[in-house]
Structure 1
C-alpha cells in the first residue's frame, strides 16, 4: 500500500505515541546517519534550518532532506570541508487505519469512528524555533550551503527558515 500524502500526518493533536516497548511492529527509522562530514574541522559559519510552525516531519522526509544536503555539499565542497548534523529524531509512531481501496469498497466498508490503527512509520515532532538540521561550513562554501538548505527545506512539509550564524572560534 503506498504512502499517504504528508498533509495526512503533518498536524498533530494529543500526546506523542512513543513507547516502542509496548508497540508491536514499529518500523525502523529510515534515517540512520545523523552526522556526516568532518566534525573536527575549522568552520566559519553555521547554517541552520529552523521550523516556523509546529508539526510532524516523517522519517522519510527527514532522510530525503539529509540525502540532498549531504550530496550537494560533498559534490561542491568535498567530504572534509563541511559538517552536517540532523538535530531531530523521529520518536513518534504514526498509525493508520487501513481501509479497502478499490471500486465499490464504499458499499462494503464505512470504517469505524476513533479507530486506533496499526503502526506504519515514525515522525519527529517540531515546534516553532526548533533546529531541524545544521551545517558547519567555511566562508567560501557559504552560498552553496544556503542553496543546499533551500533544497532540503523543499523536502519538508513545514515552512522553515534558514539562519546563518558565525561559528565561535575556540
Structure 2
C-alpha cells in the first residue's frame, strides 16, 4: 500500500508516544542525528551558527526529516568536507502515527468495517514541533556561512512546514520570532 501524503499528518495532535503500550510501532529510521566534526575539540574553531526553525507548529514525518537531513549533509560534505562543519538534527521522532486503512476496490464495502473500530495501526513516526523551536542547526567558520545557508535551504524544500533560517555568532543567543534562544 502506498504512503499517504505528508499533509494528512501535518496538524499537531496530542502525542502518542508510549511504545511500551504500542505494539508494532516502527523504528525512527534516522541513522544519525549529528554529522560532520562531532568531537568538541574539533568544533572549537567554528564561530557561527545557522539554525532552521518552523513558522508554525505541526508534525513532520520521519521520511521527510531523513530526506532533509540527507540533502543538507550531502551538500555540506561535498562542498566543505566533513571536518569543516557540524550539522545536528535537534528533534527526535517520538510520536507514532496511526492509520485506519481503507480498501479501494470493487466490493470493498462488503469487506471493510468503515469507521467501526477505527483506531488504526501504527504506520510511521513523526516529530511534533512547536513554532520557533530549532529543528536543524549548522556550526561553521565565518567564511562558510553561505554554504550552510544553502544546505539548510535545500533541507527546507523537503519539509512539509514553512521554515526560516537565522544566523548568529556561536555563544550568542539566536533571535527567533522576537525572542532570544540559546542552543546550549
TM-score bucket (shorter structure): over 0.9
Question: TM-score by structure 2 length?
Answer: 0.86
Offset of residue 168 of structure 1: 2.8
Residue 70 of structure 1 corresponds to 73
Residue 143 of structure 1 corresponds to 146
* Greater shift in the superposed pair: 102-111 or 132-141: 102-111
Q: List runs of 5+ in structure 1 lacking aligned partners.
A: none
Residue 12 of structure 2 corresponds to 12
Root-mean-square deviation over aligned CA pairs: 1.7
Q: List runs of 5+ in structure 2 lacking aligned partners.
A: 173-184
- Deviations 1:79-132 (CA, angstroms, capped at 9, x unpaired): 100001100100000000111122453575471167100000000000111000
Q: Does 1:121 align with 2:124?
A: yes
User: How many pairs are equivalent?
Assistant: 168
Question: TM-score by structure 1 length?
Answer: 0.92
Moved over 6 A (4+): none
Residue 181 of structure 2 corresponds to none
Q: Quick one: distance in 2 between partners of 1:138 and 1:22?
A: 45
Partner-residue secondary structure (3-state), 2:3: coil
Q: Quick one: distance in 2 between partners of 1:46 and 1:103?
A: 55
Q: Quick one: distance in 2 between partners of 1:93 and 1:20?
A: 8
* Greater shift in the superposed pair: 101-110 or 150-159: 101-110
Residue 105 of structure 1 corresponds to 108
Residue 29 of structure 1 corresponds to 28
Q: Quick one: distance in 1 between partners of 2:88 and 2:106?
A: 46
Residue 154 of structure 1 corresponds to 157
Residue 85 of structure 1 corresponds to 88
Residue 133 of structure 1 corresponds to 136
Q: Quick one: distance in 1 between partners of 2:19 and 2:141?
A: 40
